[in-house]
Amino acid sequence: MDTFRYIEGAVTLQLDQEACIGCGSCVVVCPHRILYLEQRKAYITNVDLCMECGACQANCPTEAITVDPGVGCAAYIIAKWVNRLLGREIVKGCC
């Protein structure tokens, strides 16, 4: 995936190393392989490669890793904006 780089500095991924217990679950599930374990603590290698899928957050037993997950899709975001204007809540997905 090195050929594909998206916008820098936009990603919401954060890791609280105090809370990390070094279980390694996040390292297993990350589809972009940007997490690794060293001396029972997780580290992020390149945060800009994160696509905010949320797999690491869902599999962290101590909520040490957080991200604002979602679908990176223009149609979805337009629907979200329209809903905010109209005060609706249901977003019909695109996939």
**For every residue of the chain, which 3-state class applies, written as one string?**
CCCCCCCCCCCCCEECCCCCCCCCHHHHHCCCCCEEEECCEEEECCHHHCCCCCHHHHCCCCCCEECCCCCCCHHHHHHHHHHHHHCCCCCCCCC
Beta carbon of residue 81, minimum distance to other proteins (angstroms, whole number): 9
Binding site for other proteins (CB under 8 A): 1, 3-8, 10-12, 25, 28-33, 49-55, 58-59, 61, 68-78, 93-95
Shorter beta-carbon distance to other proteins: residue 40 or 72: 72
Beta carbon of residue 84, minimum distance to other proteins (angstroms, whole number): 12
